[in-house]
Amino acid sequence: MSGIDPGLLVTVLKRATALGATAADGFLVDERHFSATVRLGEVDTVTHSHDQRLSLRVFAGRASAAASTSDLSPDSLERVVGEATRLAKITAEDPHAGLPDPAELTASIPDLDLADAGGHDLSPEAKIDIARRAEAAALSADARVKNSEGAEFWDRQARYAYATSSGFAGGYATSSFGITASPVAAQNGEMQRDSWYTMARKRARLDDPAEVGRTAAKRAVRRLGARKVKTTEVPVIFDPETAASLVRAIAGAVAGPSLYRRASFLLDRLGARIAAPSVTIVDDGLRPGALGSRPFDGEGMATRRTVLVNEGVLESYLLDSYSARKLGLASTHHAARDGAGVTVATTNLTLQPGSARPEDLIGSVREGFYVTELIGFGVNGVTGDYSRGAVGLWIENGALAYPVEEVTIAGNLLDMLAGVDGIGNDLVLRDRTAAPTVKIARMVVAGE
Amino acid sequence: MVDLVRARPESFFADRFNITSSTIDRLLGSALRGKVDDADIYLEYRIIEELVLEEGAVKKASRHVSQGAGVRAQAGTRTGYAHTDDISIENLEEAARQARAIATEANASAVVAVQSGRPHDLYALAEAPIAADLTRKLDLLRAADQAARAADPRVRQVIASITSEDVIVFVMTATGWTVGDIRPLTRLNVTVIAEDGPKREIGTYGGGGRVAFDWFLEANRWQRFAREAARQAGLKLAAVDAPAGTMTVVLGPGWPGILLHEAIGHGLEGDFNRKGVSAFAGRLGQKVASELVTVVDDGTIPNRRGSLNVDDEGTPTSRNVLIDRGVLCGYMQDKLNARLMGMKATGNGRRESYAHPPMPRMTNTFMLAGDEAPEDILRSVKQGLYAVAFGGGQVDITSGKFVFSASEAYLIEDGQVTKPVKGATLIGNGPDALTRVSRVGHDLKLDEGIGTCGKDGQSVPVGVGLPTIRIDGMTVGGTQV
């Protein structure tokens, strides 16, 4: 299955150059989405949608502007091209602005096996039934699971096309599928929710819905009886889901725009040790059938495998062509399109697994905190200062002892990375960004 | 293009897409009789303009148009929703067919006409902010850049942006009732990076609302925003580590009202209570806060970011008292949850866009003023934290635990505000946090117009407000044990 015909884009780009643009590129997305939520066995919400969006970037010499529309009628496209070229005339010249050199654009578009045309071929009733099975498994997993925020099945088909006025035109298609269950456990007047999910590019690769429901139930039930702990400084172990958020924070700090704005705690650290030697972080956009894979980036440059951190040393930033030129480096092919133009995004980003079994990491801690959920936005990307609400289980004498809530964990990301004291062997690529269990030597837990 | 935004919503969609009231009857009327409890069509047209200054020059400008229709049918607790960005009769018919599929087995009562009342007129502007002259906006961004740099020589980077939008909405219900709204919105934001030797810090400030561009010029607001961003960054360069543990916390007026949004606001949205998954479910009439605390959600304040003439289901917004002198007295409702709970729709049914079904959301949420002088409140604290600016917050509705992150805070020592401390997350328990409010100032302030609330992947603009308050015992997530 191929992408959408970039013909429409090519027409729009020609019109932009006719109106005075010196260069232009455009991105076209067409997506169909279905979602069914079931709650307490009954259908709750069913949503169908079909959306399209064309986004355009226009250059007038070294000045540029962007425009986008969901209305692909000829009149509307004519207006969008006009708006973008008009805006490009009022913006300031920027010596670093411009399309990538055509010679750098991808010569071929690899088939990364990202679509599952047949996978979408399921009646709404059958899709609803998948959600129903996930929720039923959660509700019957434990007598303490008494309520539910529901379970959802969704699928999404998307087609992308990209073209430049320099002659590049390419496209590709993707599929994605997901199941989420969000049960509520209750005991002695206390309520706790949690959730679990599965996502894949092929429907057949989703986890069994009943397994998703049971895992969600287990996660909700284990939070019952949660308490606050006394304020202390202890080893903290992040489960794979919360460890992935640390990897995202590092990716944000090495993204081109954060660096040229000097808004990063990893500024000027290329080639320097930023983490314990056990830490290796890889972004690999070429994994066949993976959620974060794409054949080319938002500027038509070939996707790659990039080692960001190699045994603790920062080896690469994440750059599009603009931030690369500003920093005097080469693009790492991480451009992505958003409505307002070009930004930087990772593909399949992972903290590479270590050799420790997660239970041995927990076993190595006399008193500590095993974190299973983080809330809030308390990460300062400029300084690395870190302070977030946390939920999890207290570790006593090497074993999970009781659930904990209403506490924060705090430190500085640089200290935390240097203090990585063990990495699990349990990496599973459940999402575009993933990590195994991570142990950090010491953090402050604030509670009573 | 700009003239479109002065159109009347009903004629706008009729002229542009040939959608009239007879269309509604065709899509929602006869086909649904006796099968649904409610049904509606929501039409939306949105233009967004964004101008960004970086390194002293406006290098980024963008303009985005989106349009679409959402068709919804409801039966019992079920909702069928379909949306399309191609507003044609054929696509609407297909969307209606998909939405109605939900209703086929239902044995609902017929659609009941709800008296919806008159919409407000809270933001009629002489000129919509998106229509203001581009050169004036560019000049303002450059002036803000200069003001931030002049405020502190350590300012190394300034990123200033003006975002303006105009949204035209039109709601048509199965009973034939229609209502439209034109919603202007704008915001100026200034972010600075200040450096002192190897130390770097960020400061950010801004504001806006459903106001004309000139609002930024009144009382030199733009200059104040720029100077505030520089001041915050400079202050943080000198900040010491924040304390860790439970202590007395004094919150300053205005944006710290995000406490209310997280601690109780989300927990009082109708959907979570109807489902029994909120920590506040079944607690109407109970004491959930100190008697000093009265909290309202008010969507009717003129020109505020969180205000609406009608919500996204066509219900006029209202002023809803959520907590009256400590007692929980109201939820925020959309039509579905109001019907299922036997309550009144409160004008809180909101959605991010036509691509999303509505749900109960906040508008402008704030605590009424008390009678104490803010200085006296600070003087009453022997040891504690004084927090005046915050980043975002988040809540777990079911357990009631919430966080919000201070970006400007100070130690209080013997009643005096002393050293600035680094940012730290504050954590509490919603049903319990407001019972610890021991003093309330007379200085109620609403925020400057910067809030965006996310729920289930949908973002909507909101406002908050707070007088200076003292909370006896809140956990502060610093690093100083």
The CATH code of the domain that includes B152 is 3.30.2290.10
For residues A40 and A57, the answer to whether their CB atoms sit within 8 Å is no
Identify the domain boundary among A351, A378, A405: A351
User: pLDDT per residue over A89-142, tens digit each?
Assistant: 899 999 999 999 999 999 999 999 999 989 999 999 999 999 999 999 999 999
User: Is B73 in the same domain as B212?
Assistant: yes
CA angle, B353 as apex, B349 and B357 as ends, to 5°?
Answer: 50
At B99, is the pLDDT very low, low, confident or very high (cuts 50, 70, 90)?
confident
- Give the residue numbers spanning the domain of A426: 232-245+353-446
Mean pLDDT, rounded, for A16-40 = 95
- A289 and A358 fall within a common domain: no
pLDDT beyond 70 at B34:
no
A433-434/A349-351 β-pairing: parallel
Summarised one tens digit per residue, pLDDT across range B325-351 is: 999 999 999 999 999 999 999 999 999
**Are B84 and B158 contained in the same domain?**
yes
All residues of chain B having their beta carbon less than 8 Å from the beta carbon of residue A267 are 200
Shared domain check, B444 and B360: yes
- Average pLDDT value for residue range A368-397: 97
Q: Is residue A285 part of a domain?
A: yes
pLDDT value, residue B173 = 84
Average pLDDT over all residues of chain B: 92
Per-residue pLDDT band at A412 (split at 50, 70, 90): very high
Indicate if A424 and A361 belong to the same structural domain: yes
Closest partner residue to B424 (CB to CB) among A267, A387, A405 is A387
> Does ipTM surpass 0.90 in this model?
yes
B179 and B210 housed in the same domain: yes
Contact B277 A446 (CB under 8 A): no
A430 shares a domain with A328 = no
Q: How confident is the model at residue B5 (pLDDT cuts 50, 70, 90)?
A: very low
Q: Enumerate residues 6+ apart whose C-beta is below 8 A from A360.
A: none
Whether A45 and A143 map to the same domain: the answer is: yes
DSSP 8-state symbol, B353: S
Among all residues of chain B, which has the CA nearest to that of A444? B479
Q: What percent of chain B has pLDDT over 70?
A: 94
Domain residues for the domain of B431 are: 244-477
Residues A321 and A207 in one domain: no
Give CA angle at A236 (A231, A242), nearest 5°: 115
Q: What is the pLDDT of residue B368?
A: 98
Count of structural domains within chain B: 2
Residues B205, B263 within the same domain: no
Of A351, A377, A396, the one marking the end of a domain is: A351
Chain A contacts of B399, Cβ < 8 Å? 190-193, 223, 226, 405
Q: How far is residue A305's CA from residue A307's CA, in Å, rounded to a whole number?
A: 7
H or E element at residue B146: helix B134-151
Query: Last residue of a domain, which of B209, B237, B265?
Result: B237
As given in the structure block, the two tokens for residue A50 are: 């079909």
Supply the pLDDT for residue A130: 98
Whether A306 maps to a domain, the answer reads yes
| Mean pLDDT (whole number) for A262-282 | 97
Contact B401/A at CB under 8 A: yes
What is the pLDDT averaged over residues B42-63? 94
Q: Which residues of B touch A405 (CB under 8 A)?
A: 399, 401
Residue A435 and residue A363 share a domain: yes
Same domain, B50 and B176: yes
Give the pLDDT band of residue B393 (cuts 50, 70, 90): very high
Q: How confident is the model at residue B33 (pLDDT cuts 50, 70, 90)?
A: low
Q: Which of B219, B237, B255 is the last residue of a domain?
A: B237
Mean pLDDT of A235-244: 98
Residue A405 has pLDDT above 90, yes or no: yes
**pLDDT higher than 70, residue B116:** no
Question: What total of structural domains would you count in chain A?
Answer: 3
Closest chain B C-alpha to A425 CA, distance in angstroms: 30
Give the pLDDT confidence of B125-163 residue by residue, as tens digits: 999 999 999 999 999 999 999 999 999 999 999 999 999
Mean pLDDT in residue range B440-457? 96
* pLDDT given for residue B319 in this prediction: 97
- Kindly report the CATH number assigned to the domain that includes residue A113: 3.30.2290.10
Are residues B306 and B390 both part of a single domain? yes
Same domain assignment for residues A376 and A345: no
CB contact under 8 A, A376 and B84: no
For residue A250, being part of any structural domain is answered with no
Residue A252 included in any domain: no
| pTM of the complete model | 0.95
B-chain residues near A94 (CB < 8 A): 57, 59
Summarised one tens digit per residue, pLDDT across range A323-346 is 999 999 999 999 998 766 899 999
Give the pLDDT band of residue A1 (cuts 50, 70, 90): very low
Measured CA to CA, the distance from residue A70 to residue B45 in angstroms comes to 10
Residue percentage of chain A with pLDDT more than 90: 94
Considering A351, A366, A384, which residue would you say is the last residue of a domain?
Answer: A351
- A262, part of any domain: no
Kind and range of the H or E run holding B249: strand B244-251
Would the CB atoms of A191 and B50 count as touching at under 8 Å? no
In this structure, the answer to whether residues B191 and B283 fall within a common structural domain is no
Residues B265 and B250 placed together within one structural domain of the fold? yes
Identify the domain boundary among B237, B264, B279: B237
Q: What Cα–Cα distance (Å) separates residue A319 from each residue in A252, A324, A383, A393?
A: 11, 6, 21, 38
Q: Quick one: average pLDDT of B244-255?
A: 97
Please give the Cα distance from B423 to B212 (Å, whole number).
Answer: 34
Which residues lie across from B78 on neighbouring strands? Answer: B75
Asked if B259 and B232 sit in the same domain, the reply is: no
* Same domain? A20 vs A98: yes
Nearest to A192 among B83, B398, B404 (CB): B398
**A331 shares a domain with A191:** no
What's the CA dihedral at A142, A144, A146, A149 to 10 degrees? -80
Which residue from A minimizes the CA distance to B233?
A382
Strand pairing of B38-54 and B155-173?
antiparallel
Task: Mark whether B225 and B322 lie in a shared domain.
Answer: no
Q: How confident is the model at residue B93 (pLDDT cuts 50, 70, 90)?
A: confident
Residue B62: predicted pLDDT: 94
Report yes or no on A151 lying in a domain. Answer: yes
pLDDT at residue B115, rounded to an integer = 55
* Whether residue A341 is found in the same domain as residue A416: no
Same domain flag for A193 and A240: no
Q: Is the dihedral of CA B211, B216, B221, B225 positive or negative?
A: positive
Q: Rounded to 5 degrees, what angle do the CA atoms A149, A369, A414 make?
A: 105
The predicted structure's pLDDT at residue B6? 54
| CB B420, CB B426: distance < 8 Å | no
What mean pLDDT is reported for chain A? Answer: 95
Contact B63 A67 (CB under 8 A): yes
CB contact (8 A) between residue A267 and residue B200: yes
Between A and B, how many residue pairs show a Cβ–Cβ distance under 8 A? 270
Do A177 and A323 lie in a common domain?
no
Query: Tell me: the pLDDT tens digits for B289-326?
Result: 999 999 999 999 999 999 999 999 999 999 999 999 99
In whole angstroms, how far apart are CA A186 and each of A139, B135, B184? Answer: 12, 59, 44
A251 within a domain of the structure (yes/no): no
Indicate the pairing of strand B424-429 with strand B437-440: unpaired
Exposure of A315 by Cβ count < 10 A (0-12 exposed, 13-18 middle, 19+ buried)? middle
Residues B105 and B175 in one domain: yes
